[in-house]
Chain A
């Protein structure tokens, strides 16, 4: 707590009192529903009576409505100041009432205390009499009849909700433009009308909520995190926090959301293209490391959706940042022909314990103890692969390959593809002693078909242009086997879900290469 130097508050009669007054002053901060305050207010009144004009005794009350109640209850005549707005309480940063500050003639705070300690209060009363020039006068306080000690009560400025509101209003942390609503506005309808939402309602980003959200990161609210396409707008930690509130996120998710924004705006991931493409791609977030449990992400039943707040709101927050800050709007620069529900949010954690292999993050060079987020651009899926009969890795890889061979169309080769294996399917590979590369190589082999069958024809417009045969060496290459995927490294294997049944999921990538590549980063603080 800090003794105040200057302030102005109105007393019960509406008269403004400027602090400091001339001469010594005893300042107290109290609230009505505090037994210790009620114990001590008569003492302060007695000091006020005894010091007469030699010293001012001012009592700041933390609620307007409590002033007449206290005045009547204790027959108080000393000035009761209205600190309902808690300006004084915030400035002094008191966490307990009653709190006392005693100032001498030079406005130096010479004594201070909180709660009730008989010895300290007696000393303050005595010093007050001295400062008032009446050191020998009796305050009429029967000190021996009072308890030795009583704890104070929590100050109103530290009550849940109130503290956040005060910080949001007074800390100066928040610089975003304030949007005023009319009393007749329905806040949720208003946000729809402003185009702030993805189609579902959003949580109103009040200053209190945004300030509270910002407590989830150690970063400065005004740090520039990235330049967000397509409008190439600088996006600050504060703007991310606003959109995180709207998405329904909790403060502890904020570092993950900031990291996803950073990844999304890299040249490697290229969210500009991901959200602009007519294919309707979307970023898919994959989380590894201890953070999965720390923030309560779901990697068990229903890991890919729905029902988990962290999974859902982290992905949604990224999309809202792209929409509201980046300006990616359907029909505008978002040219998705059809889109899909996974474009609302697509974000999950890997079930590392159920995987027979190292985690995806470790595969990408991170430590098992690192908190890691990865973004991949996906335009297809999720599509279920059902195989409840396979008993070994070979049979299961065959099923995956057959399912993956028709992604996008049956002829065209693809790049990145995400295979989310269920624990039961992953366990089959584990028991068969298959590595990730064994699975990938089998899929490459099983999806290989002659080049001639990958060429477009009069019967099917999809596939490679016939002229491409020359690049493979002419007609002699027509029977050359060509796999569905350009390289086995394009097949990404992770494990998620619960041990419920032998179903896995595949999600088709977007374009790969210079367009967009999976990108990972450690999650910051």
Chain B
């Protein structure tokens, strides 16, 4: 009788992740990340406009993935981490 099998998975122990503490108010710089899906830029244009109207003093910076099909390249992730306080990603479809 079969009593043992070998684990076919990557054997990663799931790591419980907690959300980064939410700040009280918007401040600093917000990264707006376009993942290169059609009309993602239109969505972010409108969002950027609303942010400037309703949160004066908050700066925005635009980022764009080279392709929707692959994860964001390391330099983009690093730039967002170093230069921005928030990130809003425009997902697809």
Contact = CB atoms under 8 A, between A and B. Distances in A.
Interface of A: 174, 176-181, 183, 187, 191, 196, 204-207, 210, 228, 231, 233-235, 238-239, 242-243, 246, 270, 272-273, 276-278, 320, 324-327, 511, 514-516
Interface stretch (B3-11, B20-28, B45-53, B55-63): B3-11
Given A231-B10, A231-B12, A233-B12, A272 B70 contact: yes
Nearest to A186: B2
A204 B2 contact: yes
A327 B4 CA distance: 22
Contacts of A204: 2, 5
Contact of B11 (A176, A272, A277, A511): A176
Interface in B1-46: 1-12
B41 to A, nearest CB: 14
Contacts of A320: 8
Q: Which of B2, B3, B7, B9 has the most CB of A within 10 A?
A: B9
Given A206-B2, A514-B70, 8 more contacts: A177-B7, A179-B7, A181-B5, A196-B8, A196-B9, A242-B8, A243-B8, A324-B10
A436 to B, nearest CB: 28
Nearest to B36: A514
B52 to A, nearest CB: 27
Contacts of B3: 180-181, 183
Contacts of B8: 176, 196, 205, 239, 242-243, 246, 320, 324-325
Contacts of B1: 183
Contact of B5 (A205, A235, A273, A278): A205
29 contacts: A176-B6, A177-B6, A177-B7, A177-B11, A178-B6, A179-B5, A180-B3, A181-B5, A196-B8, A204-B2, A206-B4, A206-B6, A207-B6, A210-B6, A233-B10, A239-B10, A242-B6, A242-B8, A243-B8, A272-B69, A273-B67, A273-B69, A273-B70, A324-B9, A324-B10, A326-B10, A327-B10, A514-B69, A514-B70
Nearest to A202: B8
Contacts of B75: none
A59 B1 CA distance: 30
A514 B70 CA distance: 9
B82 interface: no
Nearest to B11: A177
B93 interface: yes
Q: Which of A183, A205, A320 has the most CB of B within 10 A?
A: A205
Nearest to B3: A181
Nearest to B69: A273
A205 B6 contact: yes
Given A176-B11, A324-B9, A325-B10, A181 B2 contact: yes
Contacts of B7: 176-179, 242
Contact of A514 (B6, B9, B67): B67
Given A176-B11, A177-B11, A233-B12, A277 B69 contact: yes
Contacts of A325: 8-10
A323 to B, nearest CB: 9
A235 B1 CA distance: 29
Contacts of A515: 67, 69
A378 to B, nearest CB: 15
A516 B2 CA distance: 41
Given A176-B11, A233-B10, A272 B71 contact: yes
B43 to A, nearest CB: 17
B66 A514 contact: yes
A242 B10 CA distance: 11
Nearest to A325: B10
